[in-house]
Amino acid sequence: MDKFEKAKANARLLLILLAVSYALYLIVALDLFMTYEIFVGLAMLLALMASVALFLTIASESGLVGIKSGGKALAASAALAASFALTFAYRNGLLWGTPVLDAAFIDDRSRMDLELYKNGKYLLLSGWMFGEERFSGTYTMEGDRVIFGEYPIAGSDFIPRELLVDKKEKRIYFSKKVDGIYDSSYYYFQIDF
C-alpha cells in the first residue's frame, strides 16, 4: 500500500473515530447513561485522543498531498469536528451571549454552577464525583429576585422557583426570614466564585 492509499485509509478511520466520539458525546450531553457517564466520557476521551494522533499521522507521513488524497473523508471529519464544537458551545451556553450573573453552590461532594444570561436564559450544571447533569430554561429578574420559568428545576424542589440575590454579600439565597433579612442559615450560591 503506497502512502496515498494509506492516507485514504487513515482518513476513513479518522472519520469513524470522530463519529464514534461524537456519538459518545451526545450520550453524555443528553444524560442517557447517568450511572455510567464516567465510562462513556473516558471512551470519548480515548476516541478523541486517537483522532488527534491519527490526524497528526496523516499530516506527517503524507504531507499536503496525502491530506488532499483523503479529501472527502477529511472534509467529512472536519464537518463532524465542527458540529462537535458547536454542540459543545451551545450546550454550555457559549452561544447564548454574555452572562449577567455567575454563581456556584458547593457541597462536600458536589457543585452546582448557575449562569444567568442577558437573553433571559439560565444554565445550571450540577456536577458530582462521577458525572454531571445540565438544566436550562428561562428566568426573569424582579428587583432582587430571580424567578425561574420552569419549575421544578433539577427534577426536585431543592432549588425554589424564586431565588434572592444579595449583591452586597455576593450571594444568592433560597429564602428571606419574616423580618425581610436573607436567611443565611440555609444553603446559598456564591456569586463570582
What is the number of domains present in the chain? 2
Whether residue 77 is found in the same domain as residue 131: no
* Assigned C-alpha cell, 138: 428561562
**Which pLDDT does position 167 carry in this prediction?**
84
Confidence grade of residue 8 (pLDDT, cut at 50, 70, 90) = confident
CATH of the domain at 164: 2.40.128
- pLDDT of 184 > 80? The answer is no
- Cell numbers describing residue 32: 442517557
* 91, three cell numbers: 450546550
Q: 68 with 103, same domain?
A: no
DSSP string, 46-102: HHHHHHHHHHHHHHHHHHHHHHHHTHHHHHHHHHHHHHHHHHHHHHTTTTS--EEEE
**pLDDT, tens digit (0-9, with 9 covering 90-100), for 73-107:** 777 888 888 888 888 888 888 888 889 999 998 77
Give the residue from 46, 67, 91 where a domain finishes: 91
Per-residue confidence at 62, pLDDT binned at 50, 70, 90?
low
Nearest CA among 28, 57, 18 for reference residue 131? 28
Phi-psi region of 120 (alpha: psi -120 to 50; beta: other; left: phi over 0): left
Residue 68 domain boundaries: 3-91
* pTM of the predicted model over 0.85: no
pLDDT confidence bin for 121, thresholds 50/70/90: very high
- What pLDDT is recorded for position 52? 87
Neighbours of 167 (CB within 10 A): 10
